[in-house]
Amino acid sequence: MIAVFAPGQGAQSPGMLAPWLELPGVLEQVAEFSEVTGLDLARLGTTASADEIKDTAVTQPLLVALGVIAAGQLQLEPGTERVVAGHSVGELTAAAVSRALSPVEAVAFAARRGAEMAAACALTPTGMSAVLGGDADEIVAAIEGAGLTAANRNGAGQIVAAGALDALEKLAAEPPSGARVRPLAVAGAFHTHFMAPAAEALGAYAASITVADPRPILLSNADGAAVVTGTDLLARLVRQVTLPVRWDECLRSCLDLGVSGLVELAPGGVLAGIAKRELPGVEIVAVKSPDDLDRARALVASRPQHGQGEHTPEFRVVVTPAKGVFTRTESIDEGEQVARGARLGTVRTNREEHPIVAAEAGVLAEWLRNDGDIVAAGLPVARLADGSGY
């Protein structure tokens, strides 16, 4: 199976669109994108400075525009067996690749998303810092202990903290054991509760959008789950701006699905680098310019293609309803069938105990937390797989 990844904010570079404009039809495509966004994307993608294109309101539509252009040039055939995923705003590119949204709709959504997130950033001084190295569980505990959010979990040794600037400064001054903290040049605390105003505005915007069911498989940032309906995808795209990016879970799902080849869409490189560490043995092509298209096409063509009638594996995670101490249900082991509504564990706070139940039936593929772990509200504690395909 082939995976197609779409990068997110931070992957941009000055002039990244220039070589693509030389391809037939791309200039006209960019003109259409510029019209729906109200931005001169041709100029922004060719002659604008690094400072100008790091503006959130500019970066997001520019990245999605380039991503869908690259995907179009790959000429991916409908009905082939693939999995697609996008990091943060790259999930809109993935939505276009899966044909849930049209390329124009995806770019327009990205423009609105970028503008609303930029406005939310302006309300409160916040930021983000990469926490590099150390033990992942210890890092997350230290981030939460500092009153921050682990906004991106990209894989081993790559976790991003987000929140108030003073808390980030304290984390940098007293880093977790074996880790170092590096501030990121971003406008604010993306993928945290600080983006709630943006989510509210995007919810109203999304109500006017017609969305199709994603085909092929689209993995959600929120939990690595396979999103199978357009309605669910649209709701997730809205909520995504306030939820942490669990790219580590997307990578786990790729392993579960048996991905053997990976193409990262332009401007490729960042996600390919992570995948080299997290997906050993997978053949990877990062599309950085049109010169990489032939290699990417050859990789896609080298993998068997299957019809749409085959079973689509489905993944779900079970999350905590509250912050507290997690305890598993002892009678349920990994590999066992779980009924809808089954109690998988509890979270105990100082005052009460909250049950954790499975929203859907499936096979318990993996416990993600141990007994006694302190968990935040909304934290994944178990992964379920569709019992018919696991």
Pairing relationship of beta strands 2-6 and 82-86 according to DSSP bridges: parallel
CB of 68 closer than 8 Å to CB of 103: yes
- Spatial separation of the C-alpha atoms in residues 9 and 279, rounded to whole Å: 22
Inter-axis angle of helices 90-97 and 230-239, to 10 degrees? 170
Neighbours of 207 (CB within 10 A): 9
Active-site residue, selected from the candidate residues 34, 87, 88, 129: 88
Question: Tokens 């082991």 sit at which residue?
Answer: 333
Which pair of structure tokens corresponds to residue 262? Answer: 């990976």
Q: Which amino acid is at 330?
A: E
CB of 340 closer than 8 Å to CB of 358: yes
Which pair of structure tokens corresponds to residue 154? Answer: 């990209």
Residue 260 sits at φ, ψ, to 5 deg, of -120, -10
Q: Which amino acid is at 47?
A: T
87 is catalytic: no
Active-site residue, selected from the candidate residues 34, 129, 191, 253: 191
- Spatial separation of the C-alpha atoms in residues 81 and 279, rounded to whole Å: 19
- Spatial separation of the C-alpha atoms in residues 286 and 114, rounded to whole Å: 25
- Spatial separation of the C-alpha atoms in residues 72 and 24, rounded to whole Å: 12
311 is catalytic: no
- The residues annotated as belonging to the active site are 88, 191
